[in-house]
Amino acid sequence: MRLTRRHLMATGASLPLAAALPRWSLADISLGDATVTTVSDGNLVLPGDFIFEQMPQDELLPILDAAGQSRGEVRPECNLTLYRDGTNTVLFDAGAGPNFMPSAGTLPASLEAAGLAPEDITHVVFTHAHPDHIWGILDDFGDLLFPQAVYMMGRAEWAYWWDPETVNTIGAERAAFAVGAKNRLEAIEDAVAFFDDGEEVLPGIFAVSTPGHTPGHMSFELRRGTDAAMVIGDAIANHHVAFARPEWPSGSDQNPIMAVATRKALLDRLAAEDLTLIGFHLPEGGIGRAEATETGYRFVEMDA
């Protein structure tokens, strides 16, 4: 398996909300005759309580200090995975688009930097339908950004966000998520294909159910010959606490108890199989592996 990294460009202007400057960077691995590339959609800017509030604070702070992570604010990268096998050009998730957060939504520029136009994307495969993963299917004019693509989503995830009762049950702080998701699902209703856990979604791409962050969250095993990697979306949503203490509930998960069980099982598998992982919110392009420690795991970035 070959890995390269290259930083194509960086913005030179300040962003609102004092957001970190997004790097339109790429990290590549080869899987047999296929190539997997992460492309940046910028980053999020979130209050620390969104993730950390439910955790034991006396144990949390040393972990954050060791990772150089502030307790008050987090600015996770948004890394979309691009899979090219010579026939299909598959994008996992669609980014945040222009209307979610000023520090995110850089995917169109990142694709251009990678030498791709939106029309080159043959499939958009969703891990889940949170804003930073699906709102980017619509451009500034409300039109589909990827007009030639087939959109693919797990059946359970689609059913959850399509349900008119979701906006009433998801909680006031996430009600906008439900409204925005339903709007995007309506836009792709005539171009969507569904799949279930364990199915081969496309050649060499297998769906792996990883619920908890959302009810129907999916990860994907990419396999070409003897090479494999796992696109994990937000099943493991940060590189510090989620690895060091996977049993701690996170406020970013819609079902924290289910998400804990999923995260622990996924980390067990990733470490046991020494499987390359690709995380949406993990640093430096999100590609690395999980290494077991005495008390949990740690995220090991791929060497440059």
| pLDDT of 23 | 53
Cα–Cα distance between 295 and 298 in angstroms, integer?
10
Place of tokens 């209703």: 189
Residue 37 Cα distances to 74, 137, 162, 279, angstroms = 24, 19, 30, 12
3-301 is classed in which CATH architecture?
A: 4-Layer Sandwich (3.60)
User: Helix 155-162 and helix 175-188: axis angle, to 10°?
Assistant: 120
Q: What are 238's two structure tokens?
A: 């940060």
Cα–Cα distance between 93 and 127 in angstroms, integer?
6
**First vs last Cα of the chain: how many Å apart?**
13
- Whether residue 184 contacts residue 204, with contact meaning beta carbons closer than 8 Å, is answered with no
Q: Where are the domains of the chain?
A: 3-301
| pLDDT of 74 | 97
Q: 127-142, pLDDT tens digit by residue?
A: 999 999 999 999 999 9
Q: 220-243, pLDDT tens digit by residue?
A: 999 999 999 999 999 999 999 999
Confidence of residue 3 (pLDDT cuts 50, 70, 90): very low
Cα–Cα distance between 104 and 228 in angstroms, integer?
29
Q: 192-221, pLDDT tens digit by residue?
A: 999 999 999 999 999 999 999 999 999 999
Cα–Cα distance between 237 and 219 in angstroms, integer?
12
Q: 274-284, pLDDT tens digit by residue?
A: 999 999 999 98
Mean pLDDT of the chain: 91
In DSSP notation, 191-227 reads: GEEEE-TT-EEETTEEEEE--SSSTT-EEEEEEETTE
Which candidate, 39, 28, 35, places its Cα nearest to that of 3? 28
In DSSP notation, 131-174 reads: HHHHGGGB-TTSSBS-TTPEEEEEHHHHHHHHSTTHHHHS-GGG
Which candidate, 49, 45, 29, places its Cα nearest to that of 37? 29
- Whether residue 237 contacts residue 246, with contact meaning beta carbons closer than 8 Å, is answered with no
Q: 7-24, pLDDT tens digit by residue?
A: 322 332 333 333 333 455
| pLDDT of 27 | 82
Residue 281 is which amino acid? H
